[in-house]
Amino acid sequence: MSNQSTFADIEKSQLSASLVTANKRAQKTRALLLAPAVLTIFLIGILPLSIVLVYSFLEPGSYGGVKWNLSFDAYIQLLFEEDIFEETLTFNTAYLQIFWRSLSLAIVATITCLFIGFPMAYFISIQSAHRKNTLLFLVTIPFWTNLLIRTYCMLLILRDQGALNLALVNLGILDKPLPLLYTDFAVGLGLVYAFLPFMVLPIYTSLEKFDFRMVEAGSDLYASRFKVLTRIIIPIAKPGIAAGCILVFIPSLGAYITPELLGGGKSLMIGNLINLQFGQGRNWPFGSAIALILMVMVMISLFVYLNRTTRNEES
Amino acid sequence: MLEKATRSAIEVRSTTKIYGNDRASGVVAVDDVSLEITDNEFFTLLGPSGCGKTTLLRLIAGFEQPTQGEILLFGEHLEGLPPHNRSVNTVFQHYALFPHMTVSQNISFGLEMLGIDKIEIRKTVSRMLELVQMPQLADRKINQLSGGQQQRVALARALAPNPKVLLLDEPLSALDFKLRKEMQSELKRLQNETGITFIFVTHDQEEALTMSDRVAVMKDGQVLQVGKPREVYDHPAQRFVADFIGDINILRGELISTKKGEAKVKLASGFVGDAILPIGVGDISGVVNVAIRPEQLSFSNSTNSTLPGIIKEITYFGSGLHYEIELSTGETIKLRQQSVGRSNTEFSSGETVNIAVADDAIQVLVD
Ligand SMILES: Nc1ncnc2c1ncn2[C@@H]1O[C@H](COP(=O)(O)OP(=O)(O)OP(=O)(O)O)[C@@H](O)[C@H]1O
Ligand SMILES: [Mg+2]
């Protein structure tokens, strides 16, 4: 009897020991399996950002690069101009204007994309399955070529001797070409053109799942077409609209190619400013500071947005 | 004496709805239907799948426009009036509740659209919640409700704006048997309490018979017969109606005399009995189909004016027995016997019996 019980005990302890090792092994495997993801996040996300953060608190080197001295100049420079002779700081809005232009262009582009993209997505979602696929395919065609090339085409259309102006002049609508290129309008148009698909696709996805019998239910309950849109379709499609707005707003705010080509040197956006600092300006800390501020702006707007939408959902 | 004045709530005048281009290439979903549904009535459209019940409701609600004909709501022509301007609400077959709203928001939606003030809306919503017996679920989201609860919310939502006519498209079809029975009596109660005209769609004949004031039986877009449940059940005019509602025997017979609705018919087996002619039908003569309900037949000791036959099969169904009997002509006839307190005469398979037919039980069919 006692022998048996000891056997059982030994077996039990062996069993629990093997369980422990199995557990450890599982943990190890998990760590190993996770490693590539963690490493990737670290290498392409955290590490570069940390470098940017550190650089923004250093002094610029004479020929680019940085000097390893702690300095807040990069952040001060954003708002104040240093008089070289008197060494006094005067308030300077030049950079703030660029920030403001970026922000307003991004907002306008997002709203424009929403107003064009929502009807487009709606239209696609009510087509037959076959036509849906064709139309979606057409929406994604611009992605087939590089954004740079597409923006050049935009430039060709908008310039004084471009297709648009030629057409308007030849039709007798205008006497002389309208200076469209190198204006905020051109940049805004370029942004809308570049990012419209990012608005259409998520909205389409949420409308695709939309049960259009809800529309009938709404109008059965005395809702006019407009009320059906605002009280039923838009609230149900809200996740798609939110995703679309975020997907358009963020790249618009940091856009580089579009303002570079269509804004010329005149209509600068944050992206161009950053590029300038790392290139001609040779002021890497300043460039880093602007990049960080851009990131903070995006994060704040996302935070505000998400906060508002979740609160709306709760109420 | 004085009859209670009956107003017609809905009048459908020779209305046809064709999906597609024309009769030949399209689908004739509603085919020259004329109906008059009176105020306060519980009216049921009964028919098999695809017979055009939903289409008829959609025409009344305004989601479809008739290809021909016209529809009147309390004497007012509905042509060209969009759904949101018709005082008609629908309980959809699939409920179509708004998923982004709570139960009470769903119920208040129609009232808000009508521009009724907030205090009034709140009162109505809580009254509706009482009516469908779910006030404790007012703040639930729709996806947190069971099927039966959703069905009741759909009902409350459609009733809240106090429409002149309520359309119900197979609202009970998704429910299990017990809940269905409960909801049937609840619907009946609601209709009594609110006095709203109900147009109810079902393909369940029992549901139609138990709930309705009047029933319209439809087939292939046409209304075959309209009447009180009893009339439609006891005196089906057509073979399709007879077959569709309840169990029935269809036998061949010959009309031997017709006089003002009274007729004598001679069945193939030689049996001669009084028969009832279908209402509103002109001349019928010669060989016809007649219908006899299984419960109108009974066993008899006498061989006088009875049908002789041999019992083929006996089935027990709880409250009674069901016999399949072969007549001398080779036709099989169904006989249903309710169990009653005193013991029934026991028969067994293969036995020769005489079958008596109750008065007024033989109904002559048009086709
Ligand atoms: N939008 C449409 N386009 C073409 N044909 C249609 C359309 N809607 C219905 N039909 C056809 O019209 C006929 C009647 O359809 P309806 O939906 O009215 O039938 P129902 O009696 O409600 O059937 P169920 O009991 O299955 O709901 C069917 O043959 C159907 O295929
Ligand atoms: Mg239907």
Residues in chain A within 8 Å Cβ distance of B98: 214, 217-218, 232, 236
CB contact under 8 A, A214 and B114: no
B67-81 core/surface letters (b: 16 or more CB in 10 A; e: else): bebebbbeeeebeee
Per-residue pLDDT at A5 exceeds 70 = no
Residues B301 and B202 in one domain: no
B47 touches chain A (CB under 8 A): no
Q: What is the mean pLDDT of residues B24-53?
A: 94
Residues in chain B within 8 Å Cβ distance of A234: none
d(CA B78, CA B13) in angstroms, rounded, equals 12
Residues B204 and B274 in one domain: no
Q: Which domain holds residue B286?
A: 247-364
Residues B186 and B73 in one domain: yes
Tell me which chain B residue has its CA closest to the CA of residue A214. Answer: B96
Strands B262-267 and B332-338, bridge-based pairing: unpaired
More confident residue, A109 or A78: A109
Among A71-80, A282-291, B336-345, which is the least confidently predicted range? B336-345
At B280 the pLDDT is 66
pLDDT in tens, B122-145: 999 999 998 888 899 999 999 999
B63 touches chain A (CB under 8 A): yes
d(CA B202, CA B186) in angstroms, rounded, equals 16
At A314 the pLDDT is 56
User: Is residue B1 in some structural domain?
Assistant: no
d(CA B215, CA B201) in angstroms, rounded, equals 10
Per-residue pLDDT at A3 exceeds 80 = no
Residues B265 and B156 in one domain: no
Interface of A with B in 247-306 (CB under 8 A): none
At B1 the pLDDT is 39
User: Is residue B3 in some structural domain?
Assistant: no
Residues B273 and B195 in one domain: no
Structure tokens at B313: 């099969």
Residues B355 and B222 in one domain: no
Q: State the CATH number of the domain containing residue B149.
A: 3.40.50.300
Tell me which chain B residue has its CA closest to the CA of residue A234. Answer: B100
User: Is residue B190 in some structural domain?
Assistant: yes
At B340 the pLDDT is 67
Neighbouring-strand partners of residue B360 = none
Residues in chain A within 8 Å Cβ distance of B84: 219-224
d(CA B206, CA B289) in angstroms, rounded, equals 24
Residues B114 and B194 in one domain: yes
Q: Domain boundary at B234, B257, B281, which?
A: B234
User: Is residue B240 in some structural domain?
Assistant: no
d(CA B18, CA B164) in angstroms, rounded, equals 27
CB contact under 8 A, A236 and B110: no
Residues B36 and B60 in one domain: yes
Per-residue pLDDT at B118 exceeds 50 = yes
Q: What is the pTM of this model?
A: 0.80
User: Is residue B139 in some structural domain?
Assistant: yes
User: Is residue B241 in some structural domain?
Assistant: no
CB count within 10 Å of CB A289 equals 25
User: Is residue B318 in some structural domain?
Assistant: yes
CB contact under 8 A, B96 and A223: no
Residues with CB under 6 A from ligand 1: B 19, 27, 29, 47, 49-55, 203
Give the ligand with the smallest distance to the CA of B204: 1
Residues B135 and B187 in one domain: yes
Q: Domain boundary at B167, B202, B234, which?
A: B234
Start-to-end Cα distance in chain B: 38
Number of structural domains chain B divides into: 2
Per-residue pLDDT at B3 exceeds 50 = no
Q: Which value does ipTM take for this structure?
A: 0.81
Residues B224 and B264 in one domain: no
User: Is residue B182 in some structural domain?
Assistant: yes
Q: State the CATH number of the domain containing residue B320.
A: 2.40.50.140
Per-residue pLDDT at B5 exceeds 90 = no
pLDDT in tens, A287-300: 999 999 999 989 99
d(CA B123, CA B191) in angstroms, rounded, equals 20
Residues B188 and B336 in one domain: no
Residues B131 and B275 in one domain: no
Find, among B27, B14, B12, the residue nearest to B220 by Cα.
B27
Q: Domain boundary at B234, B263, B290, which?
A: B234
Give, using CA atoms, the residue closest to atom 30 of ligand 1: B50
Structure tokens at A292: 């960080």
Q: What is the mean pLDDT of residues A248-257?
A: 93
